[in-house]
Structures are given as structure tokens and as C-alpha cells.
Chain A
Amino acid sequence: MTKKTTRRSFIKKASGTLATATLATPFINFSAKAQSEKVIRGAMALGQFSAIDPHTANEHTGYSVIAAMFNSLVRTPPGGASADPAALEGDLAEHWESNKDLTEWTFNLRRNVQWQKGFGEFTADDVAFSVNRVKDPKTGSAWSKRFANVSVQVIDRYTIKLSVPKPDPLFLTKVFDWQTGNIACKKAAEKMGDKFSINPVGTGPFELKEYRPGDRVILTPFKDHFRWKNGDVEMTNVDAVEIVLYGDVTSRDAAVWGGEAHLMAAGSGFQARIALAERSGLNTWKQWPPAPTIMRCNFNIPPLDDIRVRKAIAHALNQVEAAKILGQGTDFILPQTAPYTSAEPFGIYGGLNLSEPIYPYDPEKSGRLLAEAGFSKGLDLGDVYSGPWGAWQSAYEVFQQQLAQVNIKFKLNVLEAPNYFKLSRGGSNPLPMYLASRFPDANGYLDEFLHSKNAPGQNMGNFKNDKFDQLVDSAWTETDPAARVKMLNEAQMIALEEVAGMPFTGLFVMQVASPKVDMGYPGGDPSKTGLAKVWNQWHKISERIRWRG
């Protein structure tokens, strides 16, 4: 039976349809508008920018903003670079030279480079200002010590000399596009005072349009950027780049899988993310080099001061199995055999490549050593603390399971970052693990995590060995590459023998990008493409970035 259409029911239906159409139209228009905008969004799981200041930023949220906004004296060529100083290219410096002693470095600067926001031309004064700003304790830069011994001399408007008291074969890595190397605008900083930290001005391809703390940074192309203006590179077709803070891993991932955001990086859950990326047509690749995960014993907490107990722990670790579990069948996790395995195809950085750990997996031997140390019934190490990051937790859980097999137990407590660092740096963590990306040089890595001068501090295991310290200190100024590598390898062997840093796994951070984004350099696994890419992560947004299609 059909219902009769009356005048009243017709008016009701018609007005309902009209109201729905009126409400829906703007959403349809919005959808179309959103699709036509060439806005590249980089998604972050963190909830805030620790800083967008070129000299105080200390993690990826800030780095991603700064990489797009600033230049340095020299840089790694976008995407295809190595950390080898010989492979660096000029950025704000056209060319440079050092004296024979490697204590003085003279840089000839590019001319007609403009600052964003109309602050005029870049000069040597800006370089001097930037170096001194990093050194100044009032700036609050985590990197102030890297420039502590650097003196600056402005030769003329376009020439500057930087000097160090002792030979520094890796000096260029202090002034390249990482951490301390960003050159900021002196005039802008002086004009803005404290507010420069939230209104930074650089010479890079993108300038700050809006900073919304706790939400996002919006960057727009800086049309006068020197590489675009000189015609070195075609100007980008991107309308804006946004670095968006989602505050949570699930939310960030959903934004990328749903097409809302276009770039992200992840350190765990590889299998599921690869499947989702394939389903959504996204590209994934590995960030080079792998970040080492080392387990450390706290020498100040008994019985870990007993070498037999430490060796028992070392023999309980099965790096190959750990890599399989953590990598979930992918090759994003590698077994590690030394605190700093060489990530470079060349040897200058002192990575130590052993075929197997010096204390290989041997549960029986582990048990015997424990018994010798008086723990035949097993050992309970009490509370152990992990940071809140997924990759850390997963690694700790595998570590916990492997130790449990030889009857060494501990209670894992996952803490927020401020508490984790306070307790672990303060020496309260019996087994302080660390998983961190650093400049791929054993010298910096061993210095930061195992040198006695950093205990208490990043040397959370309180490892103290005079010979080790001496080798690491000497390597900083050794100008002969072969001798330097020998020193660093010897230092690593001491750390291994003393079980100060137990190698566990190496993590390739997974980079994910929408096919709509052209980073301007090839992605893919560097070990397969043959490119020794060091910084091929999306955070390095360069002048080459473009919107596809």
C-alpha cells in the first residue's frame, strides 16, 4: 500500500531535503577545497615543541621546523648525504679551508643571501652572533659545550674564521646542519629579544607563518630563498608545510593512514605499519643509520659491581632472537655486537664490527657465573625504570624475558620522561638501557654514555675506567684517521670486556610518506640503493620538497 502524499507531507519532505542539502554543501565544498590545497603535513606523536629556536631545539618536533627554516655553513646534501666531512657541501659558506693543524677554519660566505621577514642580507656578523649565542649559558642550549672552546673572528663582511685550541678533525660536524650549526639572524634576535625563540628568522626555504604551541607550526615558502632565487633549484609548488602535534601515537598514525597528514616516523610496530602503509599506498623507508640500543649495568648498585654478575647478564642476552622479536619479521631491527657498530661504509667514525658479541649467548655459562657470584638460586634486581617510548618498552620487555630464563628478575616500571631521566641520571636505575639516534660517530656516543665525566648524568651505569676515558679523550683530537679508529675500537673493547655497555639491537626508524610528497631525493633502503644516507628522514625538509600531481 502506498502512502498518499499530502501537501503537508510534501512540504515536510522538501524542507527536510533542502535543510540537509544546505548543511551538507559547505562540507562538500570544504572537502574539495582541502583536496586542492598543497599543504604538506608532518605528523608528530609528541604534544609540544620543546623549542623552535635554532639553538635550543633538541628533538624532532623542533628539528623539523628548523631544518626547513635555517641554513648552516656547510650541510649534508639533502637525502643523499654521508656524515663524512669530505662529503659535506657548502650551504651559507661557498668554500672553506683549514690550517694544517686543523685548529683554524676560514669560511668564505655566499653573497646576496636574504633573511626572511625583510631583515636584510646575511653576513659574517650573523655567524659570529650564532656561535656566541650557542655558547652563552643564558641561551639555555643543550649544545653549549660543543662550542665552548670555539673562538670567532670576523675577517670581513663575507669571511669568518673559527678557531679551536686543539686539533679537531671533525670540526665541520659542529657547523653543519645539525644541532649547533644553524645560523640565526642577528638583527632579528636583537630586535625581538626573548621573543626571538618563538619568532625565529632564518635564510631557509620556508619561513614561519604561525606558531601555535601545543598544536602546530605553519611554514610558508620564502620566495627570496637563495637556492630558488639563484635558480639552483626550481621553487617549490607547495603552499605550506605544517608540523602538526597529535600528542599520541594512535592519533598521529590515524592522521597519516587517513590521508590527513603526509609524513611520519615510527620506531616500533613495523609489521602492522608496513601493512597499513601498503593498504594506504604510502611509501616507507629506513632512517639511516640505525640507532643503537645498549643495556648498561649500574656499577654503583650491588651486586652489579661484581664482574661475574655482569658477565652472567651479558651471556643471557640473545641479540639475534631479540632482533627477530622486536623486528616482527621485518629487517628494521638488527642484532648489535658492540656499543657502537659502524653505520658508515667508511671507517673514520670508529664503529666496531664484530661477528658476534664477546660474551655470546650462553645460558648455561650465565648460570655458572651467577652461582660463582653466590646467586645459585637466582637474582632479583628490584625496580628497573624505562622511559615511556614504545621502542624502549618493547626492548626492555625482551631484555626482561631473556634474563628471566637464567633466573635474573627485575620489575619493570615505565615512567614519564622527566621522572625517568631524573631517576636514571641520578643513579637509581640498576639496568639503564638507552636507545638514541646520535651523530654516527663512536667518539660522541662513547663520550656521552660511558665516559666517567658524565656520571652522574648520561653515563647512567656510572662506568669509570681511566684507560677508556683517556682513549675517548685522545680520539677527539687525533688527526690521523687510522689512529683515531684504533683508539675508539680499543675503548669499545674495554667497555665490552667490563660489561659497561652491553650491545643489544640496532633500530632503523621507519619513515612513512604519502606518494603526494616528493622529498626531492630518493627514498628506499640505503643499503640496497648503495647510498650512504645519514639523514634521510622526513624531518629534513629541504628546498627540494614538492607536491606531486
Chain B
Amino acid sequence: MLGAVTIVFVVMRFAGGDPTYAILGDHASPDVHEALRETLGLNRPIYQQYFEYIRKLFTFNFGNSLVKKVPIGDLISYHIRFTIELAISGFVIAVMIGIPLGIVAAYKRNTKVDHIIRIVSLIFPSMPPFYVGIVFILLFAIIYPIFPSSGGGNLNDFYDRMYRLILPALSLGLFISGTLGRITRASMLDTINKDYVTVARSKGLDQIRTILKHVFRNALIPIVTTAGMLLAAILAGTVMTEMVFGRPGLGKLLVISVNSRDYPVIETLLALYALIISLSNLLVDIIYAYLDPRIRYE
């Protein structure tokens, strides 16, 4: 974590640019910019700014946004709900589409169905959410205006939020589902010829039960590993999806903050992302042990 936040700090400071231009625009004279830099503490030595940043992170007192002038904690707590909604719903859609497709492809291996699913599984990850999102907006918000094109929805209106989530979640979910489908298929094929599967079949167990109970269950470990790693892809996907659909989530907040060099917001957000990825890896390790009792951590 410390390494990640240090890299973020260094990269941002060497990326160039000046946040006072985002605050004052192009109208103010150089001395007004200089006065503001002084007020914001941007003229202090880099090492002082670094230690201040680390102190704030570890005391959970993130300070205020330079540009938006509100506490960063408030900013994150407002925006994070839209990202969580999108990430979870995108993931659920990916699982609901990807895993069944992978199972069917494995079950029908080397048939037309398998070929079609494999092609689809290649097409989905090749269409990033910003592309699919624009196509969806064009089709379902402009030409056939069934869904709203943008926005996160009214915080007090659950159905409004869900309504606005459909197109973004589908864009993100489809993107992830292809990879999940391919991994599921490969993992199922590895398992499908194992002895215990043959034994189950020879006992007269029906195909669906054999596939789901004996093949899929044992094929789950690589799938869970991939799904855990896909969380990083989902978080990256939320950034693009939120920009295309104008959703006020963390991804959009991050892009805007990078563009305006709002250092404290960028640094806090990227530390949060690093934390989420670390925790998700830990969660995957715990799920391993649950799925495969042979795995124990000592």
C-alpha cells in the first residue's frame, strides 16, 4: 500500500501542470496564480508535501479538494455509491452471462454452439465499455428512447437509480463476461475428463447434475481466481463507463481530478483503489479455502 501511494504521489508531481489554472481559469494574472499556489501549499518542498499526504492518509483526515473546496471524505462518500452500484451490477451481469456461456460451450464442445459462444466470448472483451456504451446510448436513448442516456439518478429514488443503471451495467458486464466465459469453458474442459466425473456418469447420474455438481464445482477455483483479478478490470471499466454515461462515480471523479491536477483527491482515490484491490485478493484467498477444503493457510 505504501509503495502504491508513494508511486502515485511521485507520478502526479512529475506529470506537470498546475491546479491553480483549474481554480482561477485563464483570466488571472501570474501573481494571482502565485499567491494561490502559496496559499494552497504547493510551493512547499516536495518531501514536506509527501509526509503531509502520508499523515493525512493514515489518520483518515484527507483534507479538502483543492478545486471543489469540499472535504474529500464527503466527495468520496457521495460518489462511491454510484461506482459500487455499477461495479456490482456489472459483475453480476458478467457472471450471469459469462459462466452459463462457458458451461454450455464446454458441454457442447466442438459443436456449432461451442464455436458461436467462443466467437462471442472474443467479441465482448474486444468491445470496451466506452464503445458499447455509445452504441447503447445511440440505440436505446436517442433512436429508441427507452432508457435515459446518462446520470446516476436521484439518491432517494431506488427505481430511478436502477433505471439509469441498466445500460451502463450491461456495457460493463458484457465486456467482462467474455473473459469469464472463456475461463469457465477452459476450466470446465480440464475437469470434465477427470476420473471422478467418469465415475459419476457410470453411476447413471444425469448430465446436468454431473456438469453442475461434479464438473462445475471443481472447476470453480480458476474461475474464482480470474473473477478476483477481473475486479481490477471492472474498476478500470467503471472509469470509462462512468465517463460515457455521465455517472457521478469515483471513476469520473478521478478523471476530472487528474485533468485539473486536484492532487489530494487523486492521491486519496488511488490509495482507495489500491486498498480495494488488496482486499479483493484477500477475499479470493479466503474463498479458495471454502471451495477447496484441501487448501489451508497456516
Q: Which of B180-188, B225-233, B243-251 contacts A (4 or more CB under 8 A)?
A: B243-251
Q: Is A212 interfacial (CB-CB < 8 Å)?
A: yes
CA A255 – CA B23 in complex, angstroms? 26
Chain B residues whose C-beta falls within 8 Å of the C-beta of A56 in the assembled complex: 23-24
Asked if B160 and A260 make an inter-chain contact with CB atoms under 8 angstroms apart, the answer reads: no
Asked if A258 and B24 make an inter-chain contact with CB atoms under 8 angstroms apart, the answer reads: no
Q: Is B137 interfacial (CB-CB < 8 Å)?
A: yes
**Given contact pairs A49-B68, A247-B246, A456 touches B30 in the complex (Cβ within 8 A):** yes
- CB neighbors of A among B160-193 (8 A): 160, 162-163
CA A250 – CA B19 in complex, angstroms? 25
CA A27 – CA B148 in complex, angstroms? 11
The residue in B19, B36, B244 that gathers the most chain A C-beta atoms within 10 A of its C-beta is B244
**Given contact pairs A254-B142, A418-B18, A247 touches B255 in the complex (Cβ within 8 A):** yes
**Given contact pairs A246-B246, A456-B30, A416 touches B137 in the complex (Cβ within 8 A):** no
Chain B residues whose C-beta falls within 8 Å of the C-beta of A419 in the assembled complex: 15-17
CA A143 – CA B27 in complex, angstroms? 7
CA A260 – CA B164 in complex, angstroms? 11
**Given contact pairs A58-B24, A257-B142, A259-B145, A213 touches B68 in the complex (Cβ within 8 A):** yes
Q: Which residue of B22, B157, B242 is within 8 Å of A30 (Cβ)?
A: B157
Nearest Cβ on chain B to A280's Cβ, whole angstroms: 8
Asked if A258 and B243 make an inter-chain contact with CB atoms under 8 angstroms apart, the answer reads: no
Q: A50-B25, A58-B27, A140-B36 are in contact. List 12 more A-B contacts (CB 8 A).
A: A58-B28, A138-B39, A140-B39, A144-B32, A213-B70, A214-B253, A245-B246, A251-B246, A258-B149, A260-B150, A419-B16, A422-B21
**Given contact pairs A50-B25, A145-B29, A213-B75, A247 touches B252 in the complex (Cβ within 8 A):** yes
The residue in A48, A197, A198, A423 that gathers the most chain B C-beta atoms within 10 A of its C-beta is A48
Can you report 21 residue pairs joining A to B where beta carbons are below 8 Å apart? A27-B162, A30-B163, A48-B22, A48-B68, A58-B24, A137-B32, A142-B24, A142-B25, A142-B32, A198-B70, A212-B78, A214-B75, A214-B79, A246-B150, A254-B149, A255-B246, A258-B150, A417-B22, A417-B259, A422-B21, A458-B26
Q: Is A412 interfacial (CB-CB < 8 Å)?
A: no
Nearest Cβ on chain A to B64's Cβ, whole angstroms: 9
CA A47 – CA B245 in complex, angstroms? 12
Q: Which residue of B18, B68, B75, B243 is within 8 Å of A421 (Cβ)?
A: B18
Q: Which residue of B69, B78, B141, B244 is within 8 Å of A248 (Cβ)?
A: B244
CA A261 – CA B149 in complex, angstroms? 10
Nearest Cβ on chain B to A408's Cβ, whole angstroms: 27
Q: Is B65 interfacial (CB-CB < 8 Å)?
A: yes
CA A29 – CA B163 in complex, angstroms? 11
Chain B residues whose C-beta falls within 8 Å of the C-beta of A458 in the assembled complex: 26, 29
Q: Is A382 interfacial (CB-CB < 8 Å)?
A: no
Q: Is B127 interfacial (CB-CB < 8 Å)?
A: no
Chain A residues whose C-beta falls within 8 Å of the C-beta of B162 in the assembled complex: 27
Chain A residues whose C-beta falls within 8 Å of the C-beta of B30 in the assembled complex: 425, 456-457
Nearest Cβ on chain B to A437's Cβ, whole angstroms: 11
Chain A residues whose C-beta falls within 8 Å of the C-beta of B15 in the assembled complex: 419
Q: Mark B130-153, 1 if CB is under 8 A from A, else 0.
A: 000010011001100100111110
CA A388 – CA B246 in complex, angstroms? 19
Chain A residues whose C-beta falls within 8 Å of the C-beta of B243 in the assembled complex: 247-248, 251
Q: Which residue of A212, A216, A422 is within 8 Å of B17 (Cβ)?
A: A422
10 tightest A-B CB contacts, nearest first: A418-B17, A47-B256, A58-B25, A215-B248, A142-B28, A246-B246, A213-B68, A258-B149, A26-B159, A258-B141
Q: Is A152 interfacial (CB-CB < 8 Å)?
A: no
**Given contact pairs A198-B70, A254-B141, A421-B18, A248 touches B27 in the complex (Cβ within 8 A):** no
CA A277 – CA B248 in complex, angstroms? 26
Asked if B26 and A436 make an inter-chain contact with CB atoms under 8 angstroms apart, the answer reads: yes
